[in-house]
């Protein structure tokens, strides 16, 4: 007997787009389903069979009646069994690509839907991995998933990071816990683009390091030879440490987190560039305003803020914030210098983000050429049927 024959059934409404699911769309919203008392009574994280309005089975899904995303497609093969071996096949496929792309096991191993594990993020740091099970089905099947992760990667430490907005939307707890082995006692050094970054796997933001910006760090470094560099919203020194590795004469990292700046300083020491590196703690908007009042100038200024528009309701406010960043940052760029502006808000698409950025530069009285548009690295693949998987945008201007 196959697994699907024993699972409960949920059904699309007649007007719902079954073709989209057949063509790869990974999500089914609550308003697309026939929801009766039985459907609403399903346990969050349970598996079910999704049928179209004519009762033709479409896929095995993970369900959560508490979430707007009621169902997430796990497998279109109705004979599939969602067990440790199923997870191991997903991890093996994902790892094969990363090992082809990167010389060392420091990368995003699983990028949620794009790697066939909806809502699941796994970042690898050598012998340790940090997992974010951001969907109810993944939380429910955490045990076989982690067993498969250890089986495929051979890591000795698995840390679950329960923080983040996504888990809240799924009705999940925010607990972070070491699931396998012992957490590293010190931050883990990660070499990227000639720089060394210190990743705090248990106390840092998200999984400890943002791998997605790797190609954009590299592009910024290519602009930074003999340059004075300002890195705003720097976290652990993402752009500034890459710029110093690229030959910058000096770099200033600005962030509101003392812990993140301390890790940035440790990264600078590890790479032997601490003499050219300084940090400035404070609200980024306040620091940008103060630097303008001081008459400061830099050859390269990069701003990589948190998601100002994490959802559609926050879009307009978020776009105004991106415009404000550009307006405050542009006057700090020396004539002929470069301004890099980034957004990790999936609600603000590239066109809207670019419009807000250009408007801010214009309001600062500067003229600009757009010289480069960057996205997340290939360890963050984009699922063509899911715009949200392509959230990161970086715009580089010459002013």
With the C-alpha atoms ordered 149, 151, 154, 155, is the resulting torsion angle positive or negative? positive
**107 near 70, Cβ under 8 Å?**
no
231 contacts 239 by C-beta, under 8 angstroms: yes
DSSP assignments along 280-298, one per residue: EES-HHHHHHHHHHTT--E
Strands of the sheet with 177-180, listed across from one edge: 106-111, 120-125, 128-133, 157-160, 177-180
Of the candidates 70, 88, 61, the residue with the CA atom closest to the CA atom of residue 4: 61
Q: Which of 157, 303, 342, 344 is catalytic?
A: 344
CA 306 to chain centre: 11
Question: Where would I find the H helices in the chain?
Answer: 18-22, 37-40, 84-101, 136-140, 142-153, 165-169, 214-223, 238-245, 258-270, 284-293, 315-329, 350-363
Q: Based on the residue annotation, tell me whether 344 is a catalytic residue of this protein.
A: yes
Q: Compute the distance between CA of residue 107 and CA of residue 94 in angstroms, rounded to an integer.
A: 11
Residue 321 to residue 207: CA distance in whole angstroms: 25
The 8 Å CB, 24+ separation contacts for 106-111 are 106/190, 106/191, 106/192, 106/211, 107/211, 107/379, 108/211, 108/212, 108/377, 108/379, 108/380, 109/153, 109/379, 111/379, 111/380, 111/381, 111/389
Helical pair 238-245 and 214-223, crossing angle rounded to 10 deg: 50
Tokens for 161, please give them: 């990071």
End-to-end C-alpha distance for the chain, whole angstroms: 66
Catalytic annotation, residues: 344
């Amino acid at each position: 007997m196959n697994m699907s024959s024993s699972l409960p059934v949920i059904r699309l409404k007649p007007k719902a787009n079954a073709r989209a699911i057949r063509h790869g769309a990974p999500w089914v919203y609550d308003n697309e389903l026939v929801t009766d008392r039985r459907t609403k009574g399903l346990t969050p994280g349970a598996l079910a069979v999704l049928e179209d309005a004519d009762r033709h089975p479409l896929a095995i899904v993970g369900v959560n009646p508490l979430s707007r995303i009621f169902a997430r497609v796990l497998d279109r093969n109705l004979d599939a069994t969602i067990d440790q071996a199923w997870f191991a096949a997903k991890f093996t496929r994902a790892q094969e690509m990363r090992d082809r792309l990167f010389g060392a096991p420091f990368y995003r191993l699983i990028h949620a839907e794009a790697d066939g594990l909806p809502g699941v993020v796994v970042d690898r740091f050598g012998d340790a991995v940090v997992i974010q099970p951001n969907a109810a089905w993944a939380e429910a099947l955490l045990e076989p998933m982690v067993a498969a992760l250890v089986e495929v990667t051979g890591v000795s430490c698995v840390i679950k990071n329960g923080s983040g907005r996504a888990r809240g939307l799924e009705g999940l707890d925010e607990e972070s816990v070491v699931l396998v082995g012992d957490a590293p006692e010190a931050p883990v050094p990660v070499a990227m683009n000639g720089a060394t970054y210190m990743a705090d796997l248990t106390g840092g933001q998200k999984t400890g390091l943002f791998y997605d910006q790797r190609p954009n760090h590299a592009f910024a470094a290519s602009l930074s030879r003999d340059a004075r560099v300002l890195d705003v919203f720097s976290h652990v020194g993402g752009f500034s440490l890459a710029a110093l590795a690229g030959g910058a004469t000096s770099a200033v990292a600005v962030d509101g987190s003392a812990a993140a700046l301390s890790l940035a300083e440790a990264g600078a020491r590890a790479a032997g560039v601490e003499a050219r590196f300084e940090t400035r703690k404070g609200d980024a908007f306040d620091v940008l305003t103060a630097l303008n009042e001081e008459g400061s100038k830099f050859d390269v200024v990069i701003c990589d803020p948190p998601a100002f528009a994490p959802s559609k309701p926050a879009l307009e406010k978020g776009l105004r914030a991106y415009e404000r960043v550009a307006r405050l940052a542009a006057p700090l760029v020396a004539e002929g210098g470069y301004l890099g502006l980034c957004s990790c808000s999936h609600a603000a698409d590239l066109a809207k983000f670019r419009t807000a950025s250009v408007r801010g530069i214009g309001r600062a009285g500067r003229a600009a050429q757009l010289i480069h548009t960057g996205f997340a690295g290939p360890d963050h693949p984009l699922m063509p049927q899911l715009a949200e998987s392509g959230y990161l945008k970086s715009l580089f201007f010459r002013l």
